[in-house]
């Protein structure tokens, strides 16, 4: 297998130092409050330009995770419209630091809504957003009304956004904990997703504290959760994409997870 391109979700104050400390080649982080509409901010000393320059100097790829509250699928205008605005702000901010992608959750519709409304709202969001860098839509763990928990819903999103201008800049982020907790078979998930999306651009490699199809989004370190270790390793191997660990334990926990994964990949 080629050299594993791996890193972790870290604090945005110093994602370059965090990557170096972990022996990583990439870092993922938030730019601002993951639960707020305030908009992106840069905490790195020297701002966006300094962060971009440091990443280039040290050969560290940057990925930005969009706020969790973004929900461009919803029929609720008071959520959908500010979500689109916040999505564009984070695309712009991530582009300014040379990020390789912006990861965003698929969102959901209301209980009584036709899922097709959510699919079409995703199409409208892609058309309305200037995708200066790849937008990576992530599968999610819970909610029967979610847009990206189940493969058929992911298919509905992809069919809709494939008609949108800018679709070529939309990719997919596969989260192993979300897939497991969402009730998806990890032994076939890579092939299943590729049949729907044609691409996997990033893997969030996480073990799950909870059981299969629990709907619970609670990550844990490799080998300490409910995901079969062989299945987790096979997802990383088969996806052939960069890997982000969103696991606990800080630098030591991440280093242990990297070593666990590298040892099993050979």
Q: What is the pLDDT of residue 130?
A: 98
Residue with tokens 């989260």: 175
Q: What is the pLDDT of residue 2?
A: 62
Q: Is residue 179 part of a domain?
A: yes
The encoded tokens of residue 38 equal 């305030």
Give the rounded percent of residues in the chain with a pLDDT score beyond 90.
98
pLDDT digits (tens, 9 = 90+) for 202-256: 999 999 999 999 999 999 999 999 999 999 999 999 999 999 999 999 999 999 9
202's CB contacts (< 8 A; 6+ apart) are 63, 101, 103, 136, 171, 172, 173, 174, 241, 242, 243, 244
Mean pLDDT, the chain, whole residue set = 97
Q: Is residue 43 part of a domain?
A: no
pLDDT digits (tens, 9 = 90+) for 1-56: 468 999 999 999 999 999 999 999 999 999 999 999 999 999 999 999 999 999 99
The number of folded domains in the chain is 1
Q: Is residue 28 part of a domain?
A: no
pLDDT digits (tens, 9 = 90+) for 88-118: 999 999 999 999 999 999 999 999 999 999 9
49's CB contacts (< 8 A; 6+ apart) are 96
Q: What is the pLDDT of residue 3?
A: 85
End-to-end CA, the chain: 7
What residues form DSSP beta bridges with 219? Answer: 208
pLDDT average, residue stretch 158-167: 98
Q: pTM, whole model, 2 decimals? A: 0.98
Q: Is residue 23 part of a domain?
A: no
* Domain range for 109: 67-265
Q: What is the pLDDT of residue 60?
A: 98
189's CB contacts (< 8 A; 6+ apart) are 174, 179, 235
Q: Is residue 31 part of a domain?
A: no
Q: What is the pLDDT of residue 158?
A: 98
265's CB contacts (< 8 A; 6+ apart) are 1, 4, 233, 236, 237
Give residue 32's region: left, alpha or beta (phi > 0; psi -120 to 50). left
Distance of alpha carbon 135 from its chain centroid, rounded? 9
CATH of the domain at 252: 3.20.20.150
């Amino acid at each position: 297998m080629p050299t594993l391109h791996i890193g972790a979700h870290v604090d945005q104050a110093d994602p370059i130092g965090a990557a170096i400390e972990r022996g990583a080649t990439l870092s993922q982080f938030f730019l601002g409050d993951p639960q707020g509409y305030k908009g992106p901010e840069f905490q790195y000393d020297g701002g966006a330009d300094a962060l971009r320059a440091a990443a280039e100097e040290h050969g560290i790829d940057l990925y930005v995770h969009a706020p969790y509250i973004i929900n461009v699928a919803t029929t609720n205008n008071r959520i959908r419209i500010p979500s689109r605005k916040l999505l564009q702000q984070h695309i712009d901010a991530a582009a300014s630091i040379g990020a390789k992608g912006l990861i965003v959750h698929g969102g959901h519709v209301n209980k009584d809504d036709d899922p097709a409304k959510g699919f079409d709202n995703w199409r409208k969001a892609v058309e309305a957003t200037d995708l200066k860098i790849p937008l990576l839509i992530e599968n999610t763990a819970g909610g029967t009304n979610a847009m990206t928990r189940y493969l058929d819903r992911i298919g509905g999103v992809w069919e809709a956004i494939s008609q949108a201008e800018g679709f070529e800049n939309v990719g997919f982020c596969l989260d192993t904990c979300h897939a497991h907790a969402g009730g998806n078979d990890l032994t076939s998930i890579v092939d299943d997703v590729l049949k729907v999306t044609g691409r996997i651009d990033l893997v969030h490699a996480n073990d799950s504290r909870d059981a299969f199809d629990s709907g619970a989004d609670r990550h844990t370190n490799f080998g300490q959760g409910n995901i079969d270790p062989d299945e987790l390793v096979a997802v990383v191997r088969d996806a052939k994409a960069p890997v982000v660990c969103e696991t606990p334990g800080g630098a030591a926990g991440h280093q242990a997870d990297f070593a666990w994964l590298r040892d099993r990949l050979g």
